[in-house]
Structure 1
Amino acid sequence: MKLVELPSCHKPAAALVLIGRNSCGQWVAQEQNGLYGGLFVSRAEAMKYALFENGHHPETIVELSRTIELDTNGRFAPVGLLFGSSRRPIA
C-alpha cells in the first residue's frame, strides 16, 4: 500500500506585496507587513523583486495608483504612509 500525503488546508498564504511609485517617482515594492521591500528604477524590476520575495505568486501583487512610501522600520507601515496620506502618525 502506498501512503499519499493529502494537501493541507492550512497552507500559509503568500504575502501581499504592494507596488507603486513614491513621491520622488521611484518604484517601491513592499510586503504588506513591512517585512521586506525596496526602491527600484523601473516597474519591471519592482515586479521581479516582488515575485522573487513572495514565492512567485503574481496574484498577491497589488499595484497602487496612489503614492506609496517605503517603510524602512521593518514593521507594519501605517495605512496613511502606504497610501500617501499627508498625515504622519505621532510617536
Structure 2
Amino acid sequence: MGQSTQIQPHDGTSHLFLVGQSKHGFWVARDLEGQSEGIFREKKDAVRFAMFEGGHPNAVMLSPNAVEPTFGMGVS
C-alpha cells in the first residue's frame, strides 16, 4: 500500500489557483486573490506549486485559455 501525504499551505489559509499555459509556452499558476504566482516550464510543476500553495487538492483550476504572468505589470 502507498502512503498518502497531505499538502499544507504556507500561511494556513487555502486559495484557488488558475493554471494555464502562456503564449510563450510557459505554465503559469496564479492565486485568484493575487497573492501568489509562479512560472514553470512543465505543467506538472505548476500544478504541484498550486496544490501546495492552495492547501488542498481542489485548489487548481486548469484554464483552456492562455494565462499570462503578471510579474512586473504592477498588479497587486
TM-score for both structures, normalised by structure 2: 0.73
> Using CA pairs below 8 Å that are at least 6 residues apart, which structure has the higher relative contact order?
2
- 5+ residue gaps, structure 1: 1-12, 76-91
| 1:60 positional shift | 2.2
Listed one character per residue, the Cα deviations across residues 33-56 of structure 1 (whole Å, up to 9, x for unaligned) are 21111110101000111111112x
1:49 match: secondary structure: helix
Q: 2:59 is matched by which residue type in structure 1?
A: T
* Mapped partners of 1:60, 1:38: distance in 2: 14
Moved runs in structure 1, 4+ residues, more than 4 A? none
Deviation at 1:14, TM superposition (A): 2.1
The question of whether the paired residues in 2 share the 8 Å contact of 1:31 and 1:37 is answered with yes
CA distance in 1, matches of 2:63, 2:50: 14
Mapping for residues 1-91 of structure 1, pairs under 5 Å: 14-55=14-55, 57-72=56-71, 73-75=74-76
Shift of 1:24: 0.3
Unpaired runs of 5+ in structure 2?
1-12
**Which structure: larger Rg?**
1
In percent, how many aligned pairs have the same letter?
29
RMSD between superposed Cα atoms in Å: 1.8
Tell whether the 8 Å contact from 1:39 to 1:70 is kept in structure 2 after alignment: yes
2:61 partner letter: V
Equivalenced residue count is 63
| CA drift at 1:27 | 0.4
Distance in 2 separating the partners of 1:19 and 1:59:
12
